Amino acid sequence: MSYTAHIDTFASDNLPLAELQPEYVFELPELQFPERLNCAAELLDRHVKEGRGDRLCIQAEGLRWTYAELQDRANRIAHVLTRDMGLLPGNRVLLCGPNNPMLVASWFGVVKAGGIAVAAMPLLRAKELSAVVDIAQISHALCDDALRAEVLGAQQKSQVLKSVRFFNVRAEDADALEARMAQASPHFEAVDTAAADTCLLGFTSGTTGVPKATMHFHRDVMAVCACWPQSMLRAHADDVFVGSPPIAFTFGLGGQVLFPMSIGASMVLLEKAGPPQLVDGIERFGATVVFTAPTSYRVMAQQGERIRRTRLRKCVSAGEALTASTRALWKDATGIEIIDGIGSTEMLHIFISHREEDARPGATGKAVPGYRAKVVDEQGNEVSPGTVGKLAVLGPTGCRYLADSRQTQYVQHGWNLTGDAYLMDADGYFVYQARTDDTIISAGYNIAAPEVENALLAHAAVAECAVIGMPDSERGQIVKAFVVLRAGHAGDEAMARELQDFVKSTVAPYKYPRAVAFVDQLPRTPTGKLQRFKLHGQ
């Protein structure tokens, strides 16, 4: 590893030992990175230097920034961080806010200054932010004024978070980030970081309830831009990207910031991006590429004719399994084939996917060029096609937990074990089965919760559902379904029996839910990922 630019060596001091990290592969020519690399300079400054500074970069409500205008703001923020706030290369900076231009400018300002960006979900409260601050030992923060109370609450609980600036402050405030930026120079030379210096910490979205910080290098950011977007998405510089995931979620950071900027395209940032706002945004801003979760596609499909009249041409799904029924529903409504993919915070972004013309209902796809994938048994041995096992992945990125003993659970025999149960079919397509902890064993039968959910979702009365295993004295476990009904349907015993019979007629009868609970909503993370652990005990 080339010499680090970090004066604060907290990140390198807390990397997993080399023998606990996965093997890395850099097989593509695009992955041969120089020893010195600052990803912010590569994604932003390069476009200005090569004469593309006047290209549109960001759109938001009442706002349009070119690449040069984003660079101006990022440079001024870098000066505020280093001169006013005392940032040293390697310090961690909390970034907290909804998806808006100042959050993106702050991210680039931090990374250009040699800091480590730690973006937090905008719905986190002071207690949750305190955990992030403590784990990452965060010393600085740039946050949206809308979240002032929670950020200050976290600061009061912290011994390390000393310097905070707020942006998008409505009242006149000499300490606001924009006021400080106005006094700073628009010129800032990016810190000469090593390609293997940490530039961001991504926190897991909390499906287990216990957060982990994943460590990503400058080269990792550029690697994910070189792999999936080039081989599977195949967007171009005139595309307009939009999406619903928070930028604090690596799915959102990649799809809405890194990937468009890697090719000189533009992004649309929506502070609120539920299905209605997302459809409005696609229409109003002329978006051509959208990133969102399967649940959102199911709702937006009701506006199929309206979407057909927009410029939308590419739709990406990740974050949770895309069912065959959701894929078909969206294709019928809009005429667009969804590009499905699986990624993880640990790997930074998508590593198994497909092109639109190669989509196969029910299958996620094949390993993205630059990555390798296989299905293994409990001993780490590769299993034959058609056999369910654990998904194992290798590539230019990999799991590095910050000072966390769970590193040995995710990385085994040099491979990243994602926690997903998959099978690979005879044609090499990877077919999702369940999270490895979502397999229900009932009377000796192995039942994948997502398969039962897919069956339930095919019923016209079901809006959403989640399936878990519930302890049972006779069968060990039984299948229990939590169902959100569409408007106009009653959650009574008759409906429960109807759904049970419907599942029996769709999949093997032993898989039907022996218990059905009707709920108003399902517990989800801020990114929309289902939190099954919260359903246990209900």
Q: How confident is the model at residue 214 (pLDDT cuts 50, 70, 90)?
A: very high
Q: What is the mean pLDDT of residues 28-51?
A: 97
CATH of the domain at 530: 3.30.300.30
Note whether residue 26 is domain-resident. no
Span 241-259, pLDDT tens digits: 999 999 998 999 999 999 9
Whether 33 maps to a domain, the answer reads: no
C-alpha 344/C-alpha 214 separation (Å) is: 10
Least confident of 135-139, 163-167, 429-433: 429-433
In a domain, 390, yes or no: no
C-alpha closest to that of 86 among 143, 166, 141: 141
Average pLDDT rounded to a whole number, residues 378-385:
94
pTM, whole model, 2 decimals? 0.85
Q: Examine residue 327 and state whether it is found in any structural domain, yes or no.
A: no
Tell me the C-alpha distance between 474 and 476, whole Å: 6
Chain segment 322-355, per-residue pLDDT in tens: 888 889 999 999 999 999 999 999 999 999 999 9
Q: Would strands 415-424 and 430-435 be described as parallel, antiparallel, or unpaired?
A: antiparallel
SS (H, E, C) 403-468: CCCCHHHHEECCEEEEEEEEEECCCCCEEEEEECCCEEEECCEEEEHHHHHHHHHCCCCEEEEEEE
Residue 1 scores a pLDDT above 70: no
pLDDT band at 207 (very low <50, low <70, confident <90, very high): very low
Question: And the tokens for 329?
Answer: 């529903």
Q: What's the token pair of residue 175?
A: 């300490």
Mean pLDDT of 188-209: 85
Q: Is the pLDDT of residue 440 over 60?
A: yes
What pLDDT does residue 204 have? 80
Residue 443 predicted with pLDDT over 80: no
Evaluate if residue 301 carries a pLDDT over 50: yes
Considering the chain, what is the average pLDDT of its residues?
Answer: 93
What's the chain's length in residues? Answer: 538
Residue 416, domain member (yes or no): no
The DSSP secondary-structure symbol of 310 reads S
Q: Is residue 504 part of a domain?
A: yes
For 465-483, how does the pLDDT look when each residue is reduced to its tens digit (9 = 90+)? 999 988 887 677 899 999 9
- Interval 121-149 mean pLDDT: 92
Distance CA(274)–CA(263), nearest Å, equals 27
User: Would residue 351 count as lying in a domain?
Assistant: no
Domain count, the chain: 1
The whole domain housing 465 covers: 438-534
Q: Confirm if 102 and 169 have CB atoms less than 8 A apart.
A: no
b (16+ CB within 10 A) / e for 45-79: bebbeeeebebbbbbbeeeebbbbbbbbbbbbbbb
The H or E element that residue 95 is part of is strand 92-96
Q: Can you spell out the DSSP letters for 268-307?
A: E--SS-SHHHHHHHHHHHT--EEEE-HHHHHHHGGGHHHH
pLDDT surpassing 50 at residue 238: yes
Is 182 within the bounds of a domain? no
Using CA atoms, how far apart are residues 75 and 113, in angstroms rounded to an integer? 9
Question: Which of 44-53, 126-135, 176-185, 445-454 is the least confident region?
Answer: 445-454
Output the pLDDT for position 86: 98
- Tell how strand 140-144 and strand 163-167 pair up: parallel
**SS3 state at 25:** coil
> Which has the higher per-residue pLDDT, 368 or 506?
368
If one counts every other C-beta atom within 10 angstroms of the C-beta of residue 8, the result is: 18
